Each structure stands twice: as C-alpha cells, then as structure tokens.
C-alpha cells in the first residue's frame, strides 16, 4: 500500500469517536491507546465509506464479504505497524506496575510495549502518530500574534494602552484576592483543628486547589475534612464502580455454577 494512503487512513482513524481511544502513560508520557476491534469498527463506519467513494486511491474501498474485509483491514493495520504509526502494547494493573518498577497512577493506566502483534480483537495498540490539527496551528498563530502585539505596544493608540493597564490591574487584583482567600482558609483550618480534629477540620472552599473547573473550585462554600473534595468524590465513584463490577462477576459465576 502507498505510504500516502497509509497516512491518510491513519489521520482519518486517529481521532474518530468509534476508536474510543483512551489516555495512558507510556514511558511516563501521556499516550493514546485503543483496541484493534475499534480500528475495524472505524473502517466499517459510514464516514469511511464516503471517503472511499470520493478518494479511492487514498481510502481503498472495503469489500462486503467479511473474510475479505478482515483480510484487508489486517493488511492496512500491518502497514500502520511497519510505518511505526502504532505499536502493540499492554495495559498494566496496579500490582503489575510494581513488577515493572512503575508507580501506579490514579488518573491513567501504565502501558508497556509488547513484543508481538497478534491483531486480536481486544489487543491494545499505542499511537505513535500525532498529526498536527487545526487547533495546533491556531495556537501557534495566536502565540505569534500576541508576541507581535506586545512588541508593537509603543505603537498602540492611547486608549488601547490605557485599557491594557486597567486589565493588568484587574488581573493583579484577582490574584491578590485569590491568595488572600487561600491564606484565610488555611488559618481557619488550623484553628478548627484545635476543636474539631475528629471531623478532619473545617475548610472554606474545599475544592479551591482541586483538579476541577474554575467555578467548581468554589463549590461547596465549606466542608469538613476531605469528604467534600473533588478528588475524594471521584475516588468514591471509582470504588463504587469497581464494587459493582465485582458483584456482577460474582453473580455471573454463581449462575455458571
């Protein structure tokens, strides 16, 4: 297969929702990974069929026969591997991370490279292909535009310079208020620990420094200990999901027996 066709198909598949790509850590770097069967599903999509009708030289039409389709899909994917666009990988569980000298992550699973690519439906593959998107180009042009604008600051009209001056004052004022609130909440927490240590202390804006949205950082207004924090709530949701999965598996085993 021509390399331009391989890259075209890879670019098409790369960010498709059917691929259900997830984030993982490969060599401590965020990397997208997916299952082989999701790649096959992308090729079966209506979007790919439209592409193949318009540009059959870049997107080869896929046969209706399942065996021939599977063979062609495997051939395309083998080209992905040969061109190092993807590599076979393995998703590690927490206990497996320790065996490979890796520290388990709360947010992303750790990934390692596999020595074989069997193209099984549930086999994982890691993306090594990261084409530039329109957003990337817009960010570059935006940064260049901002730099040029500041370089040309002396040439700005007086009204624009006055406006930026007031904006900078507002920004510094916001930062001052933010750090002021942070200091006050820490003082209140330390004092509260003298009286309500068993509750974990009293926090104003318990989510202020949590990894959440701007407005969510100020919800709720107060809380005791870490039970109101975004991290704790997220952790409890994960535990409930795991517990539900365990119970489901237990019921399936009981039915099988």
| pLDDT tens digits for range 50-100 | 999 999 999 999 888 999 999 999 999 999 999 999 999 999 888 888 888
Task: Report whether pLDDT(213) > 90.
Answer: no
Of the candidate ranges 17-26, 44-53, 79-88, 220-229, the one whose mean pLDDT is the lowest: 220-229
Full-model pTM: 0.59
Give the pLDDT confidence score for residue 176 in this predicted structure.
95
Who wins on pLDDT, 183 or 246? Answer: 183
Q: Environment class of residue 200 by beta-carbon count within 10 Å: exposed (0-12), middle (13-18) or buried (19+)?
A: middle
Distances (CA, A) of 50 to 58, 59, 238, 252: 12, 9, 40, 42
Of the candidate ranges 17-21, 102-106, 229-233, the one whose mean pLDDT is the lowest: 229-233
Integer Cα distance of 95 and 109 in angstroms:
12
Structure tokens at 159: 């009204």
Structure tokens at 173: 């004022």
Rg (CA), the chain: 26
Q: Among candidates 109, 67, 73, which has minimal Cα distance to 1?
A: 73
Domain regions of the chain by residue span:
3-127, 193-257
């Amino acid at each position: 297969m021509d390399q331009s066709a391989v890259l075209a198909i890879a670019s098409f598949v790369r960010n498709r929702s059917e691929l259900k790509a997830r984030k993982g850590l490969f060599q401590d770097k965020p990397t997208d990974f997916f299952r082989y069967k999701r790649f096959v599903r992308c090729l079966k999509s209506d979007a790919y069929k439209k592409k193949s009708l318009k540009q059959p030289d870049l997107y080869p039409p896929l046969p209706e026969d399942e065996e021939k389709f599977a063979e062609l899909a495997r051939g395309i994917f083998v080209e992905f591997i040969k061109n190092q666009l993807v590599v076979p990988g393995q998703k590690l569980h927490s206990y497996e991370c320790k065996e490979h000298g890796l520290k388990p992550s709360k947010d992303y699973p750790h990934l390692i490279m596999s020595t074989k690519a069997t193209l099984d439906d549930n086999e994982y593959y890691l993306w090594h292909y990261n084409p530039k998107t329109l957003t990337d180009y817009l960010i570059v042009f935006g940064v260049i535009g901002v730099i040029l604008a500041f370089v040309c600051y002396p040439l700005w009209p007086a009204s624009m310079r006055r406006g930026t001056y007031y904006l900078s004052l507002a920004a510094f004022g916001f930062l001052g208020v933010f750090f002021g609130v942070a200091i006050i909440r820490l003082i209140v927490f330390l004092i509260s620990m003298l009286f309500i240590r068993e509750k974990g202390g009293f926090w104003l804006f318990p989510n202020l420094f949590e990894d959440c949205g701007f407005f969510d950082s100020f919800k709720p207004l107060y809380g005791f200990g870490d039970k109101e924090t975004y991290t704790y709530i997220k952790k409890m949701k994960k535990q409930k999901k795991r517990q539900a999965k365990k119970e489901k598996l237990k019921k399936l085993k009981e039915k099988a027996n």
